Amino acid sequence: MNKNDYKNMWVYIEHDGKTAAPVGLELCCEVRKLCDRTGDRLYAVVIGALPETELEKVKACGVDGFILVSGTGYDFFNTDAWANAFTVLSRKYNPSAIFVGGTVDGRDFAPRFAVQLETGCTSDAMELDWDPETGDIQFIEPAVGGKIMAVITVPVLRPQVGTIRPGTFPYAPVGAKERVEVIEERIDFDPAAIRCHPVGFIPDENDPELDIAHADCIVCVGNGLKDGEHLERYRTLARLLGGKLGCTRPLYDRGILPYKLQIGQSGVMVKPKLYISFGVSGAVNHTAGVDAGLFIAVDKNPNAQIFNYCDYGIVGDMDEVCDELIARLRAGDGKLI
Amino acid sequence: MLNILVCVKQIPDVDLVKMDPETGNLIRTGVPTLTNPLDLNALEAAVQLKERYGGAITLITMGPPMAESTLRECLAVGGDEAVLITGRPFGGADTLSTSYTIVKAAERFGPFDLIFCGKESLDGATGQMASQLAERFDAAQISCCLSIEEVKDGRIRATRALESGRELVEAKLPCLVTVEKDNYYGRLPNLEAYLAAKKAPIVTCTENNIEGLDLQKIGVPGSGTIVPKIYPPELPEPGQMIRTGSVKTDVGRLLELLAEKGTL
């Protein structure tokens, strides 16, 4: 395989037929910057019909072209047809890289077509860089529980495939190019070959306590929490602050709080005005998901990494600090946000 | 009767892995290992199916010889056969070559109706092994499975977790399933099973006895990705620490600072 035969970068635009998911737009914005350095052209790949107004949004992210795929097999998302479409397209056009949003669907089909193409696949990069000497993309991501950052490359094979979590890169459209190429491809996939079918869907109940992505204030509890019985005071504090309760991954793993409250790269990305962490160690995977106006950290370990991310830190017993905050707030020491 | 494969992995306790500041290498020596917790949820789902429909469970792992202890732990919970893929040439494999190796080694125990995997491993955490195994097994795939409703007439019905709700799906067998932990907490083995598992035979697969194995597709040569560099995360400068001597006064000072900032 000669790497130089593989040119241009693709971003998959996930959509539901009405709107494009934010992650595809975020990736277009980030990969645009990469292409400006590498000299590659940026193509947005859309499978199935998407309204013109949504395509305009993609255009505004500075893409050089679209690959619009139509045909049989795309009435509902299925890994079989999607993986096949990317394999067929990739064999025809030989892209250097393919980026796919790290959603449930994206994480399903991207590693599959990477196997069909027998190429390297990475997941959850937090930064993208490029080595002009090798011509390889550097996918930079936290590893070993966030203790280290690892640079991952696909040194020999092409395309370089990466799934990237929603919210990793900012949506910062640079504006539409004057000329945008449109390639239309018909790729039929036999509906009878689709092996997994949706037969029902139950939307999650709209529980406002579980919607932390837009909360102005978040009280986040980490692995320092002794057990579920100690949790109530943090709920109380969150309520007093007019905020929501969130957690780090270990608390979900321990079965104490639901996944929807997990803050971080593999959970919810949050942007509160005020963020108070209790017993959170500060692994990169978590802090990458927090963009706080004011960040307060409480932990008993004075060397905890979390203190590198906070504006103000208190070293102490998390429960005691929480109780004291509750007492002072109840006494009227703070009228909050 | 279902023929079920459960893929498991022994991982280092990532909380205890450290990086050598001089060499930049990971220090794994002496770090305790454990069975990837999410794999035990996958095993539990498989065991429940076996109890309901009958059948056999094959456990498979790839790793150094000591990964045998993970297989024994899983055998005690429920497994009929255990396969350890081990050998130097397999080392340094990414998911592309690991998925190839596992499928080649599992061939002689198949064909399988169902393949179970944990959602991801806590150490590598790429979460892409399952999809790549499914592709190589030429199997359907149900990821993020919350509960299995039924396996009947060559099909499986299951509920899976999506971003915005729960989806009921129906897939053809063979099917690979990755399991959410919510409803499949791993069980503890009873003493009898534990003792039996200690003595159970383990099938060892090496580069020499896996039929049709392409040595160019395993280990480092078969990997699509490499890790040319690791480094400690760049940490921002620490924030302002409040140390007044007591929790009471610390909290008081914090509230003062917040009031000055106008946050409160």
Name the phi and psi angles at B52, rounded to 5.
Answer: -80, -40
Q: How confident is residue B85, by pLDDT bands cut at 50, 70 and 90?
A: very high
Q: Does B27 touch chain A (CB under 8 A)?
A: no
Q: Is residue B244 part of a domain?
A: yes
- Asked whether residue B73 is assigned to any structural domain, the reply reads yes
pLDDT category of residue A230 using cuts at 50, 70 and 90 = very high
Question: Which residues between 122 and 141 in chain A have a beta carbon less than 8 angstroms from any beta carbon of chain B?
Answer: 122-124
DSSP-assigned letters across all residues of A221-252? E-TT---GGG-HHHHHHHHHTT-EEEE-HHHH
Q: Which of B161, B227, B242 sits opposite A150 (nearest CB)?
A: B227
Evaluate whether A13 touches A58 at the Cβ level (below 8 Å): yes
Which chain A residue is nearest to residue B128, measuring alpha carbons? Answer: A111
Same domain, B130 and B261: no
Residue B204 belongs to some domain of the structure: yes
Model confidence band, residue B23 (pLDDT cutoffs 50, 70, 90): low
Same domain, B130 and B250: no
Confidence at residue A208, expressed as pLDDT on a 0 to 100 scale: 85
Mean pLDDT of all residues in chain B? 93
Q: Which residue of A has its CA nearest to B246?
A: A316
| CB contact B263 to A (< 8 Å) | yes
Is the CB of A203 inside 8 Å of chain B's CB atoms? yes
Express each pLDDT in B12-22 by its tens digit: 988 788 777 66
Indicate yes or no: CB of A313 within 8 angstroms of CB of B175.
Answer: no
Adjacent-strand bridge partners of A151: A140, B229
For residue A79, the chain B residue with the least C-alpha distance is B141
**Chain B interface includes A299 (CB < 8 A):** no
**Which of B14, B171, B258 shows the shortest C-beta gap to A196?**
B171
Neighbours of B183 (CB within 10 A): 15
Of residues B126 and A10, more confidence is placed in A10
Checking if the pLDDT of A231 tops 80, the result is yes
Given a cut of 60, whether residue A335 has pLDDT beyond it is: no
User: Quick one: B52 and B93 in the same domain?
Assistant: yes
The helix, strand and coil proportions of chain B, stated in percent and rounded to the nearest 5, come to 30, 30, 40
Closest CB from A103, A153, A314 relative to B226:
A153
A163 and B128 within 8 Å at the Cβ level: the answer is: yes
Q: Work out the average pLDDT over B80-86.
A: 97
Q: Is B65 in the same domain as B149?
A: yes
B199 pLDDT band, cuts 50/70/90, is: very high
pLDDT(A100) > 50: yes
Average pLDDT over residues B225-254: 90
Strands B175-179 and B140-152: parallel
pLDDT of residue B261: 76
Residue of chain B minimizing CA distance to A321: B247
Q: What is the pLDDT of residue A146?
A: 78
- Mean of pLDDT values over A114-140: 97
Q: What is the mean pLDDT of residues A90-104?
A: 97
Do residues B201 and B242 both lie within one domain? no
Task: Clarify whether residues B89 and B183 are in a common domain.
Answer: yes
Per-residue pLDDT averaged across A319-336, rounded?
A: 83
pTM: 0.92
- Do B239 and B211 fall into the same domain? no
Which chain A positions have a beta carbon within 8 Å of B232's beta carbon?
147-149
Q: What is the pLDDT of residue B263?
A: 62
Here the CATH number for the domain that contains residue B57 is 3.40.50.620
The mean per-residue pLDDT over the stretch B50-71 comes to 97
| Cβ contact B135–A83 (<8 Å) | yes
CB contacts of A274 in chain B (<8 Å) are 263
- When divided into structural domains, chain B yields a total of 2
Quick one: average pLDDT of A43-66?
A: 97
How deeply is B36 buried, as exposed, middle or buried, from its count of CB atoms within 10 A (0-12, 13-18, 19+)?
buried
> Do B238 and B174 belong together in one domain?
no
- SS3 sequence of A150-196: EEEECCCCCCEEEEECCCCCCCCCCCCCCCCEEEEEECCCCHHHCCE
Q: What is the mean pLDDT of residues B138-151?
A: 97
B15 and B127 part of one domain:
yes
pLDDT in tens, A241-285: 999 999 999 999 888 998 899 999 888 989 999 999 999 999 888
Whether B225 maps to a domain, the answer reads no
Q: Is residue B224 part of a domain?
A: no
Same domain, B49 and B97: yes
Residues B177 and B246 in one domain: no
- Do B241 and A314 lie within an 8 Å CB cutoff? yes
For chains A and B, CB pairs below 8 A equal: 235
Which residues from chain A sit within 8 angstroms of residue B261, using beta carbons? Answer: 294
> B193 and B151 share a domain?
yes
- Find the mean pLDDT for residues A34-63: 97
Tokens standing for residue A297 = 């950290």
In a domain, B37, yes or no: yes
Which of A100, A115, A256 to mutate against chain B (most B CBs within 10 Å)?
A115
Residue B206 has pLDDT above 80, yes or no: yes
Best of A78, A80, A108 to disrupt the B interface (most B CBs within 10 Å) is: A108
Instruction: Decide which of A337 and A118 is more confident.
Output: A118
The verdict on A149 touching B (C-beta cutoff 8 Å) is yes
In-domain check, residue B228 = no
Checking if the pLDDT of B121 tops 90, the result is: no
Q: Report the residue from A103, A109, A145 with minimal CB separation from B14.
A: A145
Domain assignment of residue B222, yes or no: no
Q: What is the ipTM of this complex?
A: 0.93
* Domains along chain A with CATH numbers: 3-193 (3.40.50.620), 208-330 (3.40.50.1220)
Query: To the nearest whole number, what is the mean pLDDT of chain A?
Result: 94
- Whether the per-residue pLDDT at B185 is higher than 50: the answer is yes
Please report the pLDDT score of residue A337 as a whole number.
40
Give the range of the structural domain holding residue B28, as residue numbers without chain letter. Answer: 2-217
| Residues of A with Cβ-Cβ distance to B168 under 8 angstroms | 198-202
Give me the pLDDT at residue B260, please: 81
Report, as an integer, the average pLDDT of B193-218. 96
Give A105 or B22, the one with higher predicted confidence. Answer: A105
